[in-house]
């Protein structure tokens, strides 16, 4: 229910673990161990998590079904707008991306991308290469909506 929210928060640079299927007890245990905030649309999970002292302030019931509003809610609730660091994390693995010199990107991206883009980043976990260029203009436009202060 919050998978898209998780990916967009990563895109904005936040460290996000995501589980589509996990037992509540296990999720609560992981959140405590890894010092995480729980974001969910599940009332029952919220009630269970709030019984733990360490998590009382670290849970948020996601209200909207729309991912844009979900992102807004999280940014506002935890006052995170100034900590946004867009395009610094892999959407799929949550790993921090590393800058890739253009010369090393040559064999990893299609030739037209290599010609047009100047900034390349690599995910050290899954090996995906991301770049700044016309393909991502739409995404950048969406991102700007969240970065306005
Ligand atoms: Zn990755």
Q: What is the pLDDT of residue 149?
A: 47
Residue 128 CA to ligand 1 centre (angstroms) = 6
Residue 20 CA to ligand 1 centre (angstroms) = 18
Cα–Cα separations (whole angstroms), residue 116 to 35, 60, 109, 112? 41, 42, 11, 6
At 27-43, the pLDDT tens digits run 999 999 999 999 999 99
Pair of tokens at residue 8: 């967009």
User: Given a cut of 90, is residue 136 above it in pLDDT?
Assistant: no
Confidence band, pLDDT 50/70/90 cuts, at residue 145? confident
**Distance between CA 33 and CA 55 in Å, rounded?**
11
Residue 59 CA to ligand 1 centre (angstroms) = 26
Instruction: State the pTM of this model.
Output: 0.85
Residue 140 CA to ligand 1 centre (angstroms) = 19
Residue 92 CA to ligand 1 centre (angstroms) = 5
User: Given a cut of 90, is residue 131 above it in pLDDT?
Assistant: no
Residue 54 CA to ligand 1 centre (angstroms) = 30
Residue 142 CA to ligand 1 centre (angstroms) = 21
Residue 56 CA to ligand 1 centre (angstroms) = 31
Cβ-count burial of 25 within 10 angstroms (0-12 exposed, 13-18 middle, 19+ buried)?
A: exposed
Residue 30 CA to ligand 1 centre (angstroms) = 21
User: Given a cut of 70, is residue 117 above it in pLDDT?
Assistant: yes
At 53-111, the pLDDT tens digits run 999 999 999 999 999 999 999 999 999 999 999 888 998 999 999 999 999 999 999 99
Mean pLDDT estimate for the chain: 90
């Amino acid at each position: 229910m919050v998978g898209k929210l998780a990916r967009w928060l990563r895109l904005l640079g936040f460290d996000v673990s995501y589980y589509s299927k996990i037992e509540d007890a296990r999720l609560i245990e992981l959140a405590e161990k890894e010092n995480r905030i729980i974001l969910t649309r599940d009332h029952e999970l919220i009630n269970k998590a709030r019984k733990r002292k360490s998590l009382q302030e670290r849970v948020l019931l996601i209200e909207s079904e729309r991912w844009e509003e979900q992102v807004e809610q999280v940014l506002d609730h935890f006052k995170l707008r100034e900590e946004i660091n867009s395009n610094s994390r892999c959407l799929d693995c949550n790993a921090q991306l590393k800058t890739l010199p253009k010369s090393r990107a040559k064999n990893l991206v299609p030739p037209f991308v290599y010609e047009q883009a100047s900034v390349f980043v690599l995910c050290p976990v899954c090996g995906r290469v991301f770049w700044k260029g016309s393909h991502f203009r739409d995404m950048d436009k969406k991102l700007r909506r969240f970065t306005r202060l």
